[in-house]
Structure 1
Amino acid sequence: MQPASTPTETISQNWAGLTPGQHVTVAEPTGHRYPATIDMITEDHNVVWVHTTPTLQRKAFDRREGIIITPV
């Protein structure tokens, strides 16, 4: 008999302080980190779009994905 598995804890970050044009560092749960600029953020601050630096890819993240966005 195997022990019961425990649910993985999900990181949820409050993005209320982020604003379009702000320079940030994005840290994905995989450990990948990169600079980016905030493009848009929803009114409820649950979804944020960034332009990555230097590739300018546009990515969207939900705050429950475990993404850490830190202002620089």
Structure 2
Amino acid sequence: MQVSGLSGDKAAAVLELYSTPLSLLTAYERCAGEADKEKLLSSIRYGKLKRNLGPALSRTVYQLYCTQGALT
């Protein structure tokens, strides 16, 4: 929840699929390419309205875990 835009509901939705950082990193490794990695979390549904996390937040989380340097 330290990531801008990552609320408790959104974090809980990610944790339902990827309960540990290792499980998330493993999922990133299984992706075919960079674009797939950036979109991995975008279709996860959260909250009462079951909205998607979206591509921007998915890209931010990917960059946090898998790239060096500043997040874009």
TM-score (norm: length of structure 2) = 0.32
TM-score (norm: length of structure 1) = 0.32
| Structure of greater relative contact order (alpha carbons < 8 Å, 6+ residues apart) | 1
User: When you count strand as a share of all residues, which structure comes out higher?
Assistant: 1
User: When you count helix as a share of all residues, which structure comes out higher?
Assistant: 2
